[in-house]
Amino acid sequence: QYREAELKHGRLAMLAAAGWPMAELLQPVLSQALGQKSDLLTFSGQAPSLLNGGLELINPLFFMAIIVFSGTVESVALKTRAIEVDYVPGDLGFDPLSLYTGKSEATKRDLQLKELNNGRLAMLAITFYAVSEFINKAAVVNATPFLFKSIL
């Protein structure tokens, strides 16, 4: 039960750890390319968050769509857990690249531990992003250019 929650939070954190800097790097370019009047970043180039502000600029329909999507995924997970006897926490049967299916039990266990550890690291990373931007009042990509701007 707790493993399921840790996997879900880890997966979301992995998406957020990749998405937060990408939003700060690409959002101004994308908004200009799409002809938007202004971008959603704060004046110092930070992504909108509870600590940075800027959430009022995001369309409320986006939040509604996220709630509906999350509810749908959660209902599928609850149905799967109720039906399957040998349910593995976090296994929703989504493996389009066949990275997990058909592997040996030792390989599956190794992949599960890697996902769990990477999720834990991502949770720490996203916490660092939020605290760093709040304290420094600068975008995480600007505060650590050696991590994010060296490849561009």
Give the pLDDT confidence score for residue 139 in this predicted structure: 85
pLDDT confidence tier of residue 124, bands split at 50, 70 and 90: very high
Residue scoring higher pLDDT (92 or 119):
119
Asked whether the predicted pLDDT for residue 115 surpasses 80, the reply is yes
Asked whether the predicted pLDDT for residue 119 surpasses 60, the reply is yes
Asked whether the predicted pLDDT for residue 127 surpasses 90, the reply is yes
Asked whether the predicted pLDDT for residue 53 surpasses 60, the reply is yes
By C-alpha distance, which of 134, 151, 132 is closest to 143? 132
State how far the Cα of 118 lies from the Cα of 20, in Å rounded to an integer.
17
Asked whether the predicted pLDDT for residue 152 surpasses 60, the reply is no
Give the pLDDT confidence score for residue 37 in this predicted structure: 67
Backbone CA torsion sign across 92, 93, 94, 99: positive
